[in-house]
Structure 1
Amino acid sequence: MPSIRSLPEPQKKRRKVAHDTGVAADIKSIEDALASSVKASTSLNKLADLVDLVVKQQEPQVVSKGIYALYRIFTLIISTGKLSISGDDAAKAVKAWLWERLHAYTDFLLGLLKDEEKVLRTWFSVHDDIRWFFLRESVPVLEKAPKNRQLSASKNLLSILEKLSTFPTEQAELNEWWVPEFGAKPPKPKGANGDEDEDEPMPKEDEDEVEDDWRKFFEDEPAPQDIKQKSSRLHKMTIHQSLHSLSSHKAVFTRTWLTLLSRLALTGRESEEEQQEKKILAVRVLNVMHRGVLPHLTRPVLVMDWIAGCVDYGGSLGLLALNGLFTLMKDYNLDYPSFYTRLYAFLDRDVLHLKHRARFFRMTELFLSSTLLPATLLASFIKRLSRLSLNAPPAAIVMIIPFTYNILKKHPALMVMIHRDGDSGFEDPFLPDEPNPLSTNALESSLWELYSHRSHYHATVSVLCKVFSEAFTKPGYAMEDFLDHSYATLFDTDVDRKIKKEPALAMEVEGFGGNAKLDLFPSERPETDEDLVASGTKDIVKELWVF
């Protein structure tokens, strides 16, 4: 029995190579023929054959040869002015045909940019040299882009940066190279290890000196600074040294993102269409900011102004920007005193109807998780949510109730808001229009709005709301179990619920048996002869002919 081979048969391999060589030869021959035709102004019909041949290929080497062959041919066609000629109908038809072939070539190149090959997707994230060169070269490309194309260039750059799934965090992680020669350890710069200091002779101590005369430090003139020695420490790294430097990778990463964010800043002077496009791109940036950008910047606080501008813009954009701002405060010691005031301003009627409603509750739960926050501040948040629940859909109320329960359980000082007994003429001291959450008098109020939901038309809401009238012995709710609810999920829950007791579909009224008719809607006045005639129950002819 022959042994199983892990490699294909040599004959098949030779046939494949021969086939690829034959296709490459065909591409070369067609290219030469087209080059001669362009110079002689003869027929260019073979251009369509070359485009079709290249598009159908699967082998990377053959595709690469075809791409560059078409590039040289189209460059020659453009340089001879055949795409801009004007003349009779025949010349215009040739021009239109050439443009169609050029568009087909362009679409093919764009399709390669979206290739789903795993190796192509990992080049940017894995190979350190490719990532470094791309980040370095993307900045001048973005800066030199014309004003009318800056937004599209920023969009293209963001589409690539979003796919950057990994980034080195330690020097040892710089170990993957597309060009193997870059993997060699670069030479150390001169003076990098303080060689000049080591070459200087150490001063000998005077044997006769019993103790160090420290007073001479104040009596002697200060030694002049050695400018030459200090300048020797300033060293410009080569490309090879930069590729092996983690600080260099972070520097090009930071510069690229700062350049991109400056192009996406909302100044208020844009057109409505451009402003909407920038808003969409900014939302995409904020979705990756706290995990994929901030940890790898040289100084994360450099993006503070851009994030704060997004917060000031408000809406769903400002809502997402709060997460990045909170990350800067928590992990990078950013001082932003008005953070909770800005967060409180987002608690309006719209926040309970946005598609980012679930994400807002996730972030708010994180922002209010500290046990060091004042009770007055927390009372304002749960009171505002309680007031907004009066006009909220059932899916939003289902989020508010466990959210409020968790805060009350974590902060017992707020329990007074559900145990306050007021007089019949009690007026709510809460100030709903006060922007400062520390001055709303919420702690002196109560959560009567949540109590009113005990009579809510939706059974899930009314049952869930009764938790406030019970002892707080239950553990805190897991908010993830309530954040994804909507009208559809609530409806499906009720439809799929098992019926414990069959509902009554009919009833038997006592005292009416046999053929007796039951008048379910009795009249308030006695029937007259006119009513009997109108209903057809009285025979008038029979009454007349009675002798």
Structure 2
Amino acid sequence: MSLSSLPPQKKRKLGSTDSRLKEIETIEAAINKSLTEGGSLNCLADLLDLARSSLDAAILHKVLYALYRACVSIVASPKINLSKCLTEESKLVRTWLLGRVGEYTDMLCGLLADEEKALRTAALQILMSMLKHLSTAFSAASDTPQIHSVHFRKIVGALLLCPSSPRSGSEGHHKVQPDLRDTFIDTWLSSYDDVRWFFFRDSTALLRSYKDSNSVPSQIIENLLSFLERLKTMPTEVAELNGYWIVELGASPPKTSSNSNQHDGESEEPIPIDQDDWRTFFDDAPPAKSATPKSNQPRVHTLSTHQSLHSLASHRAQFSACWMTLLPHIASSAPLAARALAVLHRGVIPHMDKPVRLMDWIGGCVDFGGSNGLLALNALFTLIKDYNLDFPDFYTRLYAFLTRDVMHLKYRARFFRLADVFLSSTHLPAAILASFIKRLARLSLAAPPAAIIMTIPFIYNTLKRHPALMVMIHRIDDEAELDPFDETETSPLRTNALESSLWELVSHRDHYLSSVSTLAKIFSEAFTKPSYALEDFLDHTYATLFETEVKRKLKKDPAVALEPAIKLFPTSALEEGQATDVVSELWVF
């Protein structure tokens, strides 16, 4: 067998890597020389071709940063400044350079979905850094602070659409990678007010760009929701608007004049009247006898982009428009609706300009039933309590959740938590409160012990909070043959529960489980004990109840007086007249 003249495979690979690295350094040096001496920049295309052909992650990583340094130098050079490109040739060069920078940006956007974590992170960091350099260059060229909108729209589109990586032939993950999402949220979306404002605006525009709601790719909806539901930072006052990724946008904007309707250098497409224009939310008519004429009150929609970034009302409007555009797309998906409802009452409603506009969507989610319906009722209750929403059927919808299932399903504890909040008002009619506790008492007859342990403290607290219901445990009517409570009635105002009694709770005093029977005896004592801490009873299951019984320490041995049997299995028929029982007669051999 003849020996191969080729070097070992490992050495060949190292040699190939070294040659690629030297090639990268050579091309980068040529680009820098061309920028300094004014030569040709055609070698930039060679570096892009090298990046496209690099399958090795380490080599591609080197090429990406070489391209980044080259593009930053190009962006900062006079070659890309439109005001300094006076000749036709210089304009062609500028167009060609911007095209190559665009190709580099597209490549980075594709790498956001790459399977290599280091490449994903590097691509995102380079894209956001390029955004800063491009925005600075274009702000200097136009003498107006602005963001490079085209570049940022590409970033938003890549994060929401998740196109396939140029290194793979697959169609992409379609879902944004969790590490990439968290990095973008923690580093930029939660920290910089301008990035957050433009993210809301461009995400809304992306959703609205699809004429038919059914044509919106599902990954856009799910990915956008994953960003919004994890966003924990929203400004609540103007003083909090102090973080800007684009330094030029952080400067104080000029004041708005009453007759000025000029926008800054960034061109924005007009929004059709029939669309959800955030700028019209603040056009409420002033009072009839307003001391200040309307002409002297600047309208929010007249603000330039720079001024909008320093306006709290504008941030709230963009936030509201983004959510209001997203929610109709997730109304038919119970899992997505559940995720949105989970953050709605704390993370969305307080930051919206007009939260009552959510009423229709939330009301539709109540029809889902189950845990989603409860979350929707929680959001509705927030609108009723804090924003004066008129929803007369709220307690009727809540009463409909009181079925046998609520005592057995996993969201049982959530129901009791929310019901305790909903029924806490002292202004509720006694008939409604009586219907709820009577219905719970009736359901407890066929409920597991853990559910009964939740029900008894809940009813006790309700009786303590509303003394008008005490008649339900003190009613003595020997002539009553039937319970007047109508359990088939859907309206809690017409169940006749207040004329009934809580006799179901008395039956629990003879429950087989000692913890239940002991707890039920509280209703036969004077109501002098303080209200129960409901949270102490909501997490019980069969497992926790069994563990409690097993670990219970007996103060003294139980009294047992059983006569031991002489024989476990009698061998002959028992003598006539001897005490016997059915079991003994059956076990005769």
Report the TM-score when normalising by structure 1: 0.68
Residue 155 of structure 1: SS of its match in structure 2?
helix
Determine the structure 2 residue equivalent to 1:129. Answer: 194
Paired residue for 1:175, among 242, 246, 253?
242
Partner of 1:443: 498
8 A Cα contact 1:375 1:414, kept in partner: yes
Choose from 454, 467, 470 the match for 1:412.
467
**SS at 2:224 equivalent:** helix
What amino acid sits opposite 2:237 in the alignment? E
Confirm whether residue 143 of structure 1 aligns to residue 150 of structure 2. no
The one of 502, 526, 535 aligned to 1:480:
535
Deviation at 1:265, TM superposition (A): 2.4
Residues 95-133 of structure 1 show CA distances to partners (whole Å, capped at 9, x for unaligned) of: xxx99932599679954853655x861421121001000
Q: 1:331 aligns with which of 380, 386, 390?
A: 386
CA contact (8 A) 2:345 2:379 kept: yes
1: CA distance, partners of 2:301 / 2:576: 112
Q: What is the percent sequence identity of the aligned residues? A: 52
1:477 positional shift: 0.3
Within 5 Å, which residues of 2 pair with 1:279-358? Answer: 279-358=334-413
Compared with structure 1, are the counterparts of its residues 308 and 105 closer, same or farther at alpha carbon in structure 2 (3 Å cutoff)?
Answer: closer
| 2:145 match | none
- Equivalent of residue 190 in structure 1, options 236, 239, 257: 257
Secondary structure at the residue paired with 2:54?
Answer: helix
Q: Is the 1:23–1:62 contact (alpha carbons within 8 Å) kept by the matching residues of 2? A: no
After TM superposition, the structure 1 = structure 2 runs for residues 372-383 of structure 1, keeping only pairs within 5 Å, are 372-383=427-438
Measured against aligned partners, the alpha-carbon deviations of 1:36-90 in whole angstroms (never above 9, x if no partner) come to: 7998xxx9996322x34446x8x99579779999975997xx9xxxxxxxxxxxx
Q: Does 1:48 align with 2:55?
A: yes
Q: Partner of 1:325: helix, strand, or coil?
A: helix
Cross-structure match for 2:230: 163
Quote how far apart the aligned CAs of 1:257 are: 0.4
Cα separation, 1, equivalents of 2:503 and 2:524: 12
Could you report, residue by residue, the CA deviation over 1:241-292 in whole angstroms, capped at 9, with x for unpaired residues? Answer: 01001111011111000000121223xxxxxxxxxxx110101111100111
- How many angstroms does 1:164 deviate by? 0.9
Which piece of structure 1 moves more, 134-143 or 418-427?
418-427
Gaps of 5+ in 2: 1-18, 29-41, 72-99, 111-163, 261-292, 578-587
Between the aligned partners of 1:252 and 1:70, the Cα distance in structure 2 is 27
- The correspondence for 1:395, drawn from 447, 450, 455, is 450
* Alpha-carbon contact 1:365-1:403 (below 8 Å) kept: yes
Letter in 2 for 1:242: S
Structure 1 position 490, deviation (Å): 1.4
CA distance in 1, matches of 2:563, 2:55: 85
Say which of 354, 360, 365 aligns to 2:415: 360
Distance 1:507 1:228 in 2: 94
Distance (whole Å) between structure 2 residues aligned to residue 238 and residue 159 of structure 1:
30
The one-letter code sitting in structure 2 at the alignment partner of 1:155 is: E
The whole-number CA distance in structure 2 between the counterparts of 1:375 and 1:357 is: 24
Check the 8 A contact 1:182/1:240 in 2, yes or no: yes
Task: Measure, in 1, the Cα distance between the counterparts of 2:418 and 2:396.
Answer: 15
Tell me if the contact between 2:193 and 2:242 (Cα under 8 Å) persists in the aligned partners. yes
Q: Distance in 2 between matches of 1:475 and 1:365?
A: 16
Worse-matched range after superposition: 458-467 or 471-480: 458-467
Q: 1:385 to 1:62 in 2, by over 3 A?
A: farther
Give the match for residue 125 of structure 2: none
Is the 8 Å Cα contact of residues 54 and 63 (structure 1) preserved in structure 2?
no
Relative to the length of structure 2, the TM-score reads: 0.64
Larger Rg: 1
Q: Give the distance between the partners of 1:240 and 1:369, measured in 2 at CA.
A: 46
Q: Cα offset for 1:30? A: 9.5
CA RMSD of aligned residues (A): 4.3
- Contact 2:400/2:490 (<8 A) preserved: yes
Amino acid at match of 1:48: L
Aligned CA distance change for structure 1 residues 505 and 387 (closer, same or farther; 3 Å): closer
Shift of 1:234: 8.2
Determine if contact 2:370/2:411 at 8 Å carries over to the other structure.
no
Aligned mate of 1:253, from 311, 319, 335: 319
Q: What CA distance in whole angstroms lies between the structure 2 residues aligned with 1:413 and 1:427?
A: 23
1:420-459, aligned counterparts within 5 Å?
A: 420-423=475-478, 426-459=481-514
**How far apart are 1:24 and its partner, in Å?**
7.8
* Distance (Å, rounded) in 2 between the aligned partners of 1:336 and 1:502: 58
Distance 1:243 1:112, change over 3 A: same
Amino acid corresponding to residue 163 of structure 1 in structure 2: R
Distance 1:428 1:400 in 2: 20
Structure 1 gap ranges (5+): 1-21, 79-97, 194-226, 267-277, 528-534, 537-547
